[in-house]
């Protein structure tokens, strides 16, 4: 009588990696790759929230400073607040714009210094001047919304408009 483990010996041959297995794995890879490209794009995560002290770029500069009412530097990066338009300060087109621009610049510095700053990416990373376009929050509140409510900014509508009229 044969040993029980020897009863099946010879019936099964050891197989290598065959064409069918290779074709199946290749097909699975193609289907998986196509499925991956069809997934909806995830919204970029906001930058880490930061608390820092902001000065004015025109009087001392530094890595963290305010340029004007809608532009500032943070950790050396130039940031343009994406959802607002503020009066120009350099050069202003009229005394009213100069006055409002200075007030917007002062207020932006106060807001940025009042708490934790969080930058949120938008659909475009930078503008034509290389500034990072971001929605900006301080302590969870939109800086653009605050400046608009105070009459120092207006919603950005795709182009700048004058403040002298």
Residue 66 contacts residue 89 (beta carbons within 8 Å): no
Report how far residue 27's alpha carbon sits from residue 23's, in angstroms, rounded to the nearest whole number: 6
Q: Is 131 a catalytic residue?
A: yes
Q: Is 80 a catalytic residue?
A: yes
Of 73, 80, 107, 135, the catalytic one is 80
Of 107, 131, 134, 135, the catalytic one is 131
Q: Which two tokens stand for residue 74?
A: 């943070």
Measure the CA angle with vertex 65, ends 133 and 116; round to 5°: 70
Q: Is 88 a catalytic residue?
A: yes
Of 88, 97, 134, 137, the catalytic one is 88
Q: Which two tokens stand for residue 40?
A: 């909806």
Helix ranges (H only) for the chain are: 19-38, 95-113, 143-149
**In degrees rounded to 5, what are phi and psi of residue 80?**
-110, 120
List, by residue number, the catalytic residues. Answer: 80, 88, 131
């Amino acid at each position: 009588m044969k040993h029980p483990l020897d009863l099946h010996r010879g019936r099964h041959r050891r197989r290598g990696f065959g064409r069918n297995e290779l074709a199946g794995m290749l097909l699975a890879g193609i289907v998986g790759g196509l499925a991956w490209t069809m997934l909806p794009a995830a919204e970029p995560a906001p930058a880490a929230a930061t608390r820092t002290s902001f000065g004015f770029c025109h009087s001392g500069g530094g890595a963290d400073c305010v340029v004007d009412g809608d532009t500032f530097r943070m950790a050396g990066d130039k940031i343009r607040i994406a959802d607002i338009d503020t009066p120009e300060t350099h050069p202003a087109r009229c005394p009213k714009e100069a006055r409002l621009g200075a007030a917007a610049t002062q207020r932006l510095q106060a807001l940025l210094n009042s708490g934790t700053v969080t930058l949120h990416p938008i659909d475009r990373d930078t503008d034509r001047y290389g500034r990072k376009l971001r929605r900006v929050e301080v302590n969870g509140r939109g800086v653009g919304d605050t400046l608009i409510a105070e009459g120092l900014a207006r919603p950005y509508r795709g182009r700048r408009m004058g403040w002298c009229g």
